[in-house]
Amino acid sequence: MSKIKIVNLQKSFGDFTAVKNSNLTINDKEFFVLLGPSGCGKTTTLRMIAGLELPTSGEIYLGEEEVGMLRASERDIAFVFQLFALYPHMNVKNNLSFPLKMQGYSRNEIKTRVEEAAKLLRIDHILNSNISSLSGGDRQRVALGRALVRRPKAFLMDEPLGTLDAEFRELMCLELKKLHIDIGATTVYVTHDQLEAMSLADRIAVMDGGEILQADEPSVIYNKPATKFVASFIGSPGMNFINIDQGISNEQSTLNIEGTNFSIPKQYEISKGKKNSFGIRPENLSLTNEGGLKGSVFGVEYLGSRKIITVKTNFGEIKVKTDISTSVKINENVQVKPSNDNIIIFDGETDKSLKSEFMN
């Protein structure tokens, strides 16, 4: 296993730049997730690490070796495809031994390794089955097995759970995580599903428009998003934004919105312009009778353990995650107020979060 480092990586298809000047370091034995909406360049990045696409510029290091221009077959990595890409004309056993045959292992060695991987993934009872007769989950396991048998330097996975149904996806998520803990392989995992990313990742890189916006641990990504996009993309529902037509000065610790003063974490950065936004997660808001933003209840979603209340204000719809005991009626007048100081100010010009006591 080895660490993966990408330096100033760029990929263009004609006029379109799919990946812009990206830098990342993925540590040894880390479960690293590339997260972003479709078309953000996450799959292209992964395919460049795999050697299925050649970078336009930049370097990729696998361990100490620069592999950017090497062929996929020369890189010693394993790739799990979204559609599994199991060879349909071979049975499970042959699919698993296919990568080993190329490397010239003896028959016995191949047999032991295939059986070992099959046991680990609990597919030893279907080794002689045809691929077409397998369920989605078993196909997934075989695809993982084919990656495992080679003991490669790194695992690359391109939305491997994307085609499974929701219930099964959760199960496979757990299995994947357990597998990762068991074998401790450096893994790069691409997904657009933030829940999957949050539950699997040691660290997440959020991408949009070909750029890596933030790469950090899930809790940091969630609580201290680097940009407005990250804040809105992560979390369900995403962060609330209130547009404020005022600049932010250094050491500022209150903000006047609609005549009400709100205390905010002490700011350490001056905003570039006067159009900024005030971001807060739904669970850090509460309903109150006074001293908040005025609005009316627009919708109530019951989620079992929590309720999400959508309040229509002059600043757009604001979602509040409340206790299950909160009872409000549609169109009832309420006020919304931060319940703690997990508040982030985003600069309107750069979309980046401003440094503050909270965002240090």
Partner 1 sequence: MDTSRSYLEPSSFSKKLAATIIIVYTVITLIPISWMVMTSFKNVNSAISYPPEVLFEPSLEGYVNLFTNRSRQSQEYLDSLPAPETWYEELVRSREMVITGPSKFLGRYSNSMIIGFGSTFASVFLGALAAYAFSRFRVPLKDDLLFFILSTRMFPPIAVAVPIFIMYRKLGLGDTHLGMIILYTVVNLSLAVWLLKGFMDEIPKEYEEAAMIDGYSRLQAFFKVVLPQAMTGIAATAIFCMIFSWNEYAFAVLLTQFNAQTAPPFIPTIIGEGGLDWPAIGAGTTLFLLPVMIFTIILRKHLLRGITFGAVRK
| Residue of 89, 106, 304, 325 interacting with partner 1 (CB under 8 A) | 89
Tally the C-alpha atoms within 13 A of residue 42's C-alpha that lie toward its C-beta: 28
Q: Using CB atoms within 10 Å of the CB of residue 15, give its burial: 0 to 12 exposed, 13 to 18 middle, 19+ buried.
A: exposed
Instruction: Rank residues 165 and 245 by Cβ distance to partner 1 and give the closer one.
Output: 165
Cα dihedral across residues 286, 287, 288, 290: positive or negative:
positive
DSSP state of 73: G
Taking CB under 8 A as the binding criterion, the range among 19-27, 80-88, 166-174, 298-306 that sits at the site for partner 1 is 80-88
User: How does 325-357 read in b/e, with b if 16+ C-beta sit within 10 Å?
Assistant: eeebeeeeebbbbbeebbbbbbbbeeebbbbbe
| Residue of 33, 78, 117, 197 interacting with partner 1 (CB under 8 A) | 78
Residue 55 touches partner 1, criterion: CB under 8 A: no
Type of residue at 28 = D
Residue 31 touches partner 1, criterion: CB under 8 A: no
Q: Give, in order, the Cα–Cα distances in Å from 166 to each of 6, 169, 173, 228.
A: 33, 5, 10, 28
Residue 96 touches partner 1, criterion: CB under 8 A: no
Residue 173 touches partner 1, criterion: CB under 8 A: no
* CB neighbour list of residue 259: distance below 8 Å, 6 or more residues apart: none
Binding mask 97-136 for partner 1 (x = CB under 8 A): -xx--xx---------------------------------
Q: Which two three-digit tokens encode residue 170?
A: 């959760």
The rounded distance, in Å, linking the Cα atoms of 171 and 168 is 5
Residue 146 touches partner 1, criterion: CB under 8 A: yes
Type of residue at 255 = L
Cβ–Cβ under 8 Å, residues 68 and 10: no
Instruction: Rank residues 71 and 178 by Cβ distance to partner 1 and give the closer one.
Output: 71
Closest CA to 72 of 153, 161, 188, 144: 153
The distance of closest approach from Cβ of residue 138 to partner 1 in the complex, given in angstroms and rounded to an integer, is 16
Q: How many residues bind partner 1 (CB under 8 A)?
A: 23
Residue 1 touches partner 1, criterion: CB under 8 A: no
| Residue of 66, 87, 349, 350 interacting with partner 1 (CB under 8 A) | 87
Residue 203 touches partner 1, criterion: CB under 8 A: no
Range 266-325, binding partner 1 (CB under 8 A): none
Cα dihedral across residues 291, 294, 295, 296: positive or negative:
positive
Residue 77 touches partner 1, criterion: CB under 8 A: yes
Q: Which long-range contacts (CB under 8 A, 24 or more apart) does 250-254 make?
A: none
Instruction: Rank residues 96 and 334 by Cβ distance to partner 1 and give the closer one.
Output: 96
| Residue of 15, 38, 73, 166 interacting with partner 1 (CB under 8 A) | 73
Taking CB under 8 A as the binding criterion, the range among 78-86, 228-236, 296-304, 312-320 that sits at the site for partner 1 is 78-86
Interacting residues with partner 1 (CB under 8 A)? 50-52, 71-73, 75, 77-79, 81, 83, 85-89, 98-99, 102-103, 146, 150
